[in-house]
A and B are shown apart, each in its own frame.
Chain A
Amino acid sequence: MKVIRFIIKGLTHRYLAFIFRLYIAGIFIYASMYKINYTAEFAETIASYQIVPYWGVNILAVVLPWTELICGILLVAGIRVRSATAILCSLLFIFTLGIFINLLRDSPINCGCFHTIGETISWRTVVRDIIWLIMSIHIFFYDKAFHLEQKFSFTLKEI
């Protein structure tokens, strides 16, 4: 029991959440960079998933990388972590779902997660995305450490 409690405590520790936060934030910022740079390629990737209607592909390709970037930055900075995490969670969920659907469809497409080419979708991708999703959820619930906002408010309280 003690061990389990210790494990639970360790698993729900806020520093763990903080590490996850940095990790997820880093992933999304990194991912967004390429997508922002090569919007057309990202639009192609979205199109290849065959989920978004054709009239929404381009606009999504324009907006989505920036959302990823902003959320990543917010996560790093510790500002509105919950909202940002929620957005990232939903993105991850959609990505996972998309990959999942395309795996079922047996579409021979690239993940496009980071780059346009190089990584064909597989069940590994799904698992990876699910792990990331769990991490995000962990952040959502347990993240408390090193928030810029709290830092400010603590300083103000001290004042």
Chain B
Amino acid sequence: MRKAEPKNNIKRKMPTQHAIDRRSFHFKALWDTRRELIAHEDQGKIIDIYLLTAIGTLGITSGFVCWIDKEAHNNHVTSRGLEPGDIKTIEENIPKIIQLYFPESLPQNRPPPMEARLMTYEDLADPSLFPHQTRILIQWSINNQYLGLTGFGEKILAKTYDDEDLELLRSLTYNLMFAMHHALSTTIIRQLRLNLQQKNKDIEDALKQTERNKSDLDRRLFHLKSFYDIFHELSGLKDTNRIMETFLLLIMGTFSVGQSYIMLLDQEEKTARMTCRGIENEKHGKLSQDQIDNLIRHCLEYAKVNNLAPMNARRLTDRNFWDNTFRPLEIKIELLFVINESCLGLIGLGNKITLQSFSEEELELLMTLVYNFMVFLENTRSFETIQRLNVDLEKRNIELNKTIENLTASKHKVEVLERAKVRVKSAIQKEMEKTRRMSVKDFLLILSVSLLLGLVFNFSNPGGITLIPQNWFRKTPAQIDVHWAKLKHDAGTALFVDARPVEFFRQSHIKGAVNLPLALFDFVYMMNFGDLDTQREIIVYGRNISSRYDEEVLFKLVFRGHENVKVLPGGLTAWKENGYPLES
């Protein structure tokens, strides 16, 4: 198409050599221009080349191109050989130019896309809009958006433009349009490519972000897991030391730290419990009491100054913190945590194994973990306190139980004693009543004791007496009737012996009888009857309800060898009753 146009021109104007040279020159210029234009994409450059080519080829004194971007309202003017005032005039008149030459209301006034309309100065509707030297005006448009107006001044050599010049200008303008179109397209494509690249980049960025998010998520998961682990591990523990150790191991694992310690300071007990890993024990093992007190005081002051409420923790970033105080360990990160007014602690973490520094998130996690740790520690301390109290309580309970047992035993004892007392009392009362009463039991007791003592004494006493009457075991002695005895008495053949005690004999006895009282038998017999004939008849009398004197005496006489001894059973009573002689 573009080639066809110049060919047509050539066919039409072929006659002279000069014309041919000129035409070839034109063609050459066109060719060069075209080559050059194609190579450029910059619109300003393209316009420049176009202007220069046109001016140079045709020998034109001045020219301008007014480039209008209707939609972007980006209009600019490129000119050659014009005064700055002229350029300014054009720039100022662009809206008018647009209104006049590219009106929206009258499409026929506008050149169709990719068409160029040449106008001479004389044809112009309002020549004042342009510089006065303007001779040729070319109206062109690429599409509805991009419009252009090219103006050329007078030729140097000739007064007017001939057809060939116009043809060249038209061709040039076509070329310009193509080039511009091309440039625009290229720009669009480039823009598109750029957009595409941007999009790609965006996608890559998004991917990277996703990647980052994922790792972040992983980390968070890891943190959560460590958090869970800590919760899980610590929740089962009821011992402060175990909790401290477990927590230490967990944070060391969580943050991959090689060295760490936890120190729990108790103001009330004035103690410092310390747990550490990866640190030489000798360094901190023996803290003196002064050092502990100092440390506790210092930490408490710090907490007070910094308004560190109970169950709070803070990272010690103040470089002056340890200035005047013994520092247990030199370590990278240190936290002060306060459990209550009297109990606080320090946590120290050394460098990571990977030698990376701690990120904000990790520090945050550390703080969260420390808060949890504090909660557990507090709980455990409470638990320990409760346990201690429980132990105390149990001890007291045991003591109380013992006391109660003792009391019960004592009570039992007292009860038994009381019962015994009552029993004894009642027994005594009974006895007392008995004392006031006389009882058959007492009689029997007294009599039986008397009997017993009497018998024992009698049997053991050489002067004891026989309890059973001896005559029960003897033959009944020979007896003599009272009358027969009277006869003997009268005859004086028999000796009458009175066996009764001497008082009775003295009172009254058979006449002529001799007294031989049983009680004094041996004496009286020895004294008075010693030489008595054993053959002599003896009649013994004297008996009463209480004593058989006669039989006893008879027995003694028989024992002494007397053979003719008889008893007068009736005794003195029978004698008296018969009125036989008595004497006193």
Contact = CB atoms under 8 A, between A and B. Distances in A.
A80 B454 contact: no
Given A54-B548, A108-B504, A62 B435 contact: no
Main secondary structure of the interface of A (DSSP, over half): helix
A67 interface: yes
A65 B465 CA distance: 14
Interface stretch (B115-123, B124-132, B182-190, B539-547): B539-547
Given A62-B465, A108-B503, A147-B435, A70 B449 contact: yes
A137 to B, nearest CB: 13
A86 interface: yes
Nearest to B457: A36
B435 A80 contact: yes
Interface string B461-476: 1011111110010000
A119 interface: no
A65 B455 CA distance: 11
Given A87-B446, A108-B506, A149-B435, A66 B457 contact: yes
Interface stretch (A3-11, A17-25, A40-48, A125-133): A40-48
Interface string A52-74: 11110111011111110111001
A38 interface: yes
Given A40-B465, A50-B545, A83-B446, A66 B425 contact: no
Interface string B529-559: 0000000000000001111100000000000
A108 B501 CA distance: 10
A38 B461 CA distance: 10
B446 A84 contact: yes
Nearest to B544: A50
Contacts of A44: 501, 519
B344 to A, nearest CB: 68
A45 to B, nearest CB: 10
Interface residues of A, number: 53
A48 B443 contact: no
A72 B490 CA distance: 55
B473 to A, nearest CB: 13
A152 B428 CA distance: 9
B435 A40 contact: no
B547 A57 contact: yes
Contact of A51 (B432, B442, B507, B546): B546
Contact of A63 (B437, B454, B548): B454
Contacts of A49: 546
A20 to B, nearest CB: 17
A48 B544 CA distance: 9
A81 interface: yes
A6 to B, nearest CB: 26
A117 B237 CA distance: 113
B45 to A, nearest CB: 142
Contact of B461 (A39, A48, A58, A110): A39
Contact of A156 (B428, B449, B463, B545): B428
A82 B231 CA distance: 96
Interface in B436-450: 436-439, 442-443, 446-447, 449-450
A19 to B, nearest CB: 20
B465 A47 contact: no
A46 B544 CA distance: 12
Interface in B417-440: 424-425, 428-429, 431-432, 434-439
A65 B457 CA distance: 11
Contact of B450 (A51, A63, A108, A109): A63
B199 to A, nearest CB: 118
B435 A50 contact: no
A153 B453 CA distance: 29
B447 A67 contact: yes
A53 B546 contact: yes
Contacts of A53: 545-546
B435 A54 contact: no
A55 B469 contact: yes
A74 B438 CA distance: 13
Contact of B455 (A40, A46, A62): A62
A23 to B, nearest CB: 20
B478 interface: no
Nearest to A153: B428
B235 interface: no
Nearest to B547: A47
A46 B451 CA distance: 17
Contact of A83 (B425, B432, B439, B506): B439
B435 A86 contact: no
Contacts of B544: 47, 50
B564 to A, nearest CB: 26
Nearest to A55: B469
Contact of A150 (B424, B425, B435): B435
B160 interface: no
Given A49-B546, A147-B435, A63 B451 contact: yes
A82 B435 contact: yes
Interface in B388-433: 424-425, 428-429, 431-432
A65 B458 CA distance: 11
B465 A43 contact: yes
Contacts of B425: 156-157
Contacts of A36: 457
25 contacts: A39-B464, A39-B465, A40-B463, A50-B544, A50-B545, A53-B546, A57-B547, A58-B467, A62-B457, A62-B465, A63-B447, A63-B454, A64-B454, A70-B449, A79-B435, A80-B438, A80-B446, A81-B435, A84-B442, A84-B446, A86-B438, A87-B446, A106-B507, A149-B435, A157-B425
